[in-house]
Structure 1
Amino acid sequence: MLFFIAKSKCQRIIVCLLLIYFGYLLFKKYGQNLLVSVAFLAIFFLFAFKNSQINEVSLNEDTVVKVYPDQVKISDDWMSATGRVGKTSILISGKIAAEQKRLLASGKTVQINHLNGEVSQILPATNLGEVDYRKYYAEKRITQKIEFKNCQMQPVSFGFKEKLHHLRFNLQQYFSQMPPLLSFFTSELLLAENPSSDKTIMNNYRDLGIIHLLSISGLHVGIYTLVISTILYLLKFTDRQVFFVCVLFLFIGIFLSAGQAGFVRASLTYLLEEIFSLRKWKITGFDLLGLTCLIHLLFLPRLFMSSGAILSYILAFGLQLTQDKQGLMQSFLMNLLLTPFLLFFFFQVNVLTIIFNSLAIPYFNFVVMPASFLNLVIFKLNPSLSLKIELLLKSTEEIIGKISQTKLGLIVFGKINWWECLITVLIAIVLIAYLSKKNAKRKWKLSLAAGLMATYGMGFCLIHFPLEGQVTFIDVGQGDSILITTPFPRKVYLIDTGGKLNFSGKKITPQVNRITLPLLKAQGINQIDGLFVSHQDADHVGDVGPLLEQIKVKKLYMAKGLLNNPSFCKRIAGKTSQTKLVELLAGMQIKEPKINFQVVYPFKPGEGKNEDSLSLTFEVAHKRWLFTGDLGQDGEKEIAANYPLKVDYFKLGHHGSKTSSNPDFLKAISPSMVFISAGRNNRFGHPHQETLSTLRSLRIPWASTQDCGMISWYYGFKKPHFERFVMEKME
């Protein structure tokens, strides 16, 4: 399975060493049954390899996609769903007619055919820190997507599987009618999904380090089986009968939670443990967990491409490793084990997690879970009582939200490398093992603890006190956002934020939340020294408001006149109390440590339109850069007439539009390379062929975020060099 993740030779060598070590452990423990063990492993790997194969789908007139109602999401007239073509799962999306929308809303399974569209591979992450949906869906054995322009739909007659999905659909609809918090918790606890696009609660819990409470896991399986067993024992059921009823409920739970990794792991562990107990076979906790993992991998070989699955099994392993400890000491040791993975996947850690957990677990076990399950029964019978329960939860969640907003105990550490994660995990495991030994020497314990702290300290210093600076074109799709940092002492600047126009009027998750902020966190950045906004367009400053709300910005720079623009003022209203606003005109300079920004446009105040775009130039490592926003050719001529610039690197104006990047201007500034920031398959056709033809005729090479994803230029400790985040041709 690790070969699905391993990319470099070094990673594959480590995987091989781990396999050799695993084989050694098997031989040492089960040497007397070596032949049986080898045969079992051979069968396991063959079966797992067979299950890892994913058939590719091609679109033709005979292609039929089956879609279950609980796997469909509809926003206005746009449908997105997970479908099945034969035995292959695939994502499908497209605009639907009103009649088709009514059919899907009825909760029936449908067959979609006569598709007019195209099949493509699911795109990987294109920025550092961004969620990699290619890996996320690969774990679910989905690698392709269909986007259709039109299609036909027919309902499918109800079979057993269709009835099960219809039941889950009905539960989704039932939960959606509940008050918001009860709907959220019930959906998370039973269906392992968030019914709303609002991530506020998730973010609050994540910042406090208690996000695991929202995942269906061993804790919930233990509570379910305990409650069911207690009731059945009171009704005089036998052990076997109780076991079979619990297994039935757990299988239903697995289906309802769509195979959530933590729930499957805990259910398999319960199943195996009870079988061994009923058969009076002995098995250690570690062997039970290992057997659970092998069976899980047998059916989902790509399981550990999911961070949730990794954290679930690490948590279970940690519980076994610290079973002789109690209370706060066990929580502390568990956090030692989990921290490397939290830094690798989420780039931050809360040092007060132990305290927050000790307070949150009773609240969750004795308030949230009982309230959610009680509401399942009473919501239809007594909605007013549900509203009272909602008010109780709301008051508590507001307190949690206020604590989360203080960022108390939260450290934005940054993303550690895979080898740093491996080293810290191994040291933590050895340290925990030594702490459990009564006769272990104190000096070894202290040495391991010091080694662990030194590893973290070294990683923190490398991230927060970098020897290199960068100029990075963030891939924000159809828009602009450029990150500029200097070597230690690091200063951070951003030119534009990107953003999207929202025509629906509905609340949507800002792009900055899923792209820019994770990128900054991955680099350990928790404040911006200077934010430059070029003009009013949403694809440049649409996310300025959400960015100002979530990260400290010392200074906000803009062209003079933009503060008179009502649209822009509305974006920043009430969000700049701790930010200094600075208006700029051509000829002004922003002198900062290790970098000096020169303003070359506009020459007079404007309204924040394209022709008023703030244009900047600066020089680092003997290389001059120029950024002109969406400035048109007339503005470029003014710059050329007033500033005889020669630049090394230039971001093409207006995403490579033919309205910018005049040939004479390009000749005048004579760049050695230019960059294009534009969305894939954007409706404007950027970059225009006229612009690309101009670049070819002038023999100026270019790089585009459409093909490369995030593009970074590093300078400082090493020789200046470019890196592109995506190493394959983007579709």
Structure 2
Amino acid sequence: MAQLITFVITPLALLVMVLSGLFPAGASAVMGLINLLSQGLFGVLAWLEHSVPQSQLAPPPTGSIGLAVLGVAWFLMPRTWPARFLGLILCLPAVLYRPPGLMQGQAHSWILDVGQGMAVVIQTAQHTVLYDAGPAFGASDAGARTVLPALRALHVGALDQIIISHQARDHAGGLLSVRAAFGAAPIISGQPLRDIATRPCVDGATWAFDGVRFTLYQAEVGWHAQKGDNNRSCVLRVQDDNGSLLLTGDLEAIAEQDLIRRHDLTADWLYVPHHGSKTSSSPEFLAAVQPKMGLISAGALNQFGHPHPVIVARYQAAGIPLINTAYVGAIEIIDGQVRGYRARQWPFAWRI
């Protein structure tokens, strides 16, 4: 493929530049040949994309990649170079690498950096849950652009459960791309989704994966008190041996009040409801949840002004520190620790 572009298409494109002023008809003929070659090339690439399974292997550590580069260089040396086969041995650490597994009762959660939207991956020792699938607006699809690459990077071969908080496009938009890759995954949703089979979010439903407890909540009020479906958000609480994470979708104040009246929602880490909108994070809700930290998924310089300054001040007044994907990239929660991905990868990565 690369040879076709380098040795055929690129020289022909340069020839078109030369001929365009001297012999336009010839330039047009060469351009037609370039179009045919390009269509054939992209046709083959499209066939490969749909015919060859995508890799679900996690990227190897930087050190093993360095060894592999050295090994390839060693192997490609002239035949007189001594022990060229040793180059292949240097490639083995990168080829054979598998990320370390999780222990029983341990959860590893990622709030992905999907911009103005939400997508969270929760892994246990043998299972993976996806909460929301990121936004999709027109040609911009965070499901394909961010969620699927993140799942591959995390070595996820199958999704055991998908939970969609509600049908808003910034939460459910990327679901079509995710379903194309993980079609067998069952889906729970806070409200019915168009043309997609789902099970309802049952308030109080609970199950365990590998010693990690998952519990669903849904408000009984507020669905029709205002325009929109934010208060139908299916809330998820994840409890492992190191703490608890509460994922709230776009929950707003009236639904918050209903849930804290009927349930114990205390959690160590709170996903700030509705990206930090001023309609959410009521003082009573924060007092009931008592989080150690608030986690925000919002787009940098987003048009909604999320998180709203009033809400930021409310968390600060309550002594709850905030961390925002807009500034730190994907947020990782593991072993009782919360950290941003971007700072660990600078200057080589911006989003996971």
Q: 1:722 pairs with 331, 334, 338, which one?
A: 338
Q: Tell me which of 84, 99, 102 is aligned to 1:462.
A: 99
Gaps of 5+ in 2: none
- Show the counterpart of 1:220: 8
Displacement of 1:222 in angstroms is 9.5
Q: Kindly indicate whether residue 142 of structure 2 is the aligned counterpart of residue 511 of structure 1.
A: yes
- Among candidates 503, 524, 541, match of residue 155 of structure 2: 524
Structure 2 counterparts to residues 317-466 of structure 1, below 5 A: 377-378=28-29, 401-407=46-52, 410-433=54-77, 436-437=79-80, 444=83, 448-453=87-92, 455-459=93-97, 461-462=98-99, 465=101
Counterparts of 1:698 and 1:400 in 2: how far apart (Å)?
A: 54
Partner of 1:318: none
Pick from 205, 211, 218 the counterpart of residue 588 of structure 1. Answer: 205
Match of 2:129 among 493, 513, 527: 493
Alpha-carbon shift at residue 525 of structure 1 (Å): 2.8
Q: Which has the higher contact order (CA 8 A, sep 6+)?
A: 2
- The whole-number CA distance in structure 2 between the counterparts of 1:528 and 1:374 is 55
Q: What are the ranges of 5 or more consecutive residues in structure 1 without an aligned counterpart?
A: 1-209, 226-248, 257-372, 381-385, 503-507, 564-568
Task: Indicate how the Cα distance of structure 1 residues 648 and 214 shifts in structure 2: closer, same or farther if over 3 A, else same.
Answer: farther
CA distance 1:692–1:396, shift in 2 (3 Å): closer
**How far, CA to CA, are the matches of 2:152 and 2:72 in structure 1?**
24
What is the deviation of 1:705?
1.6
What residue number does 1:562 align with?
192
Say yes or no: does 1:626 pair with 2:246: yes
Residues 425 and 398 (structure 1), Cα distance of their counterparts in 2 relative to 1, 3 Å cut: closer
Instruction: Give me the whole-angstrom Cα distance separating, in 1, the residues matched to 2:202 and 2:249.
Output: 15
Q: Displacement of 1:603 after TM fit?
A: 4.3
Q: Distance in 2 between matches of 1:519 and 1:374?
A: 48
Partner of residue 545, structure 1: 176
1:398 Cα offset (Å): 5.3
Higher alpha-carbon Rg:
1
Are the counterparts in 2 of residues 531 and 553 from structure 1 also a CA contact under 8 Å?
no
The CA distance in 2 between the partners of 1:674 and 1:428, in whole Å, is 46
User: Deviation per CA, 1:180-238, whole angstroms, max 9, x where unpaired?
Assistant: xxxxxxxxxxxxxxxxxxxxxxxxxxxxxx4x2564x2x2389669xxxxxxxxxxxxx
Q: In 1, Cα distance between the equivalents of 2:159 and 2:27?
A: 46
Partner of 1:141: none
Cα-to-partner distance string for 1:493-541 (whole Å, 9 max, x where unaligned): 2111221444xxxxx1312332222222333334322211001111111
CA–CA distance in structure 2, aligned partners of residues 448 and 396 of structure 1: 32
What is the DSSP-based 3-state SS (H/G/I as helix, E as strand, rest coil) of the residue aligned with 2:177? helix
Q: Distance in 2 between matches of 1:629 and 1:655?
A: 8
1:561-591 deviation line (CA, Å, top 9, x unaligned): 424xxxxx1xxx3xx6xxx733221021233
Summarize deviations over 1:590-629 as a string: whole Å, max 9, x none. Answer: 3333422111214489698111110111202330111111
Between the aligned partners of 1:639 and 1:494, the Cα distance in structure 2 is 22
CA distance in 2, matches of 1:223, 1:436: 32
Match of 2:315 among 695, 700, 717: 695
Q: Greater helix share, 1 or 2?
A: 1
Query: What is the SS of the residue equivalent to 1:692?
Result: helix
**Partner Cα separation in structure 2 for residue 427 and residue 379 of structure 1:** 41
Percentage identity across paired residues of the two chains = 22
Q: Matches of 1:501 and 1:426 in 2, distance apart?
A: 43
Structure 2 residue 294 is matched with structure 1 residue 674: yes
Is 1:528–1:552's contact at 8 Å kept on the other side of the alignment?
Answer: no
Q: Deviations over 1:676-711 (max 9, x none)?
A: 111222222211122122212211111112222211
Show the counterpart of 1:474: 112
How well do the aligned residues superpose, as a CA RMSD in angstroms? 3.8
**Using the alignment, how far apart are the partners of 1:657 and 1:562 within structure 2?**
24
CA distance in 2, matches of 1:407, 1:537: 32
Displacement of 1:481:
1.3
Output the CA distance in 1 between the equivalents of 2:95 and 2:41.
36
Q: Distance in 1 between matches of 2:145 and 2:211?
A: 30
Which digits, 9 at most, give the CA deviation of each residue in 1:16-58, with x for residues without a partner? xxxxxxxxxxxxxxxxxxxxxxxxxxxxxxxxxxxxxxxxxxx
- Separation in 1 of the partners of 2:299 and 2:41? 42
In 2 relative to 1, CA 657–456 (structure 1 residues): closer, same or farther, beyond 3 Å? same
Residues 530 and 555, structure 1, Cα contact 8 Å, conserved in 2: yes
Matches within 5 A, 1:629-668: 629-668=249-288
2:178 maps to amino acid? L
Q: Secondary structure at the match of 2:338?
A: strand
Whether the 8 Å CA contact 1:677–1:704 is kept in 2: the answer is: yes
Q: Deviations over 1:368-393 (max 9, x none)?
A: xxxxx99953599xxxxx7x998998
Match of residue 706 from structure 1? 326
Secondary structure at 2:185 match in 1: strand
Alpha-carbon contact 2:328-2:340 (below 8 Å) kept? yes
8 A Cα contact 1:526 1:552, kept in partner: no
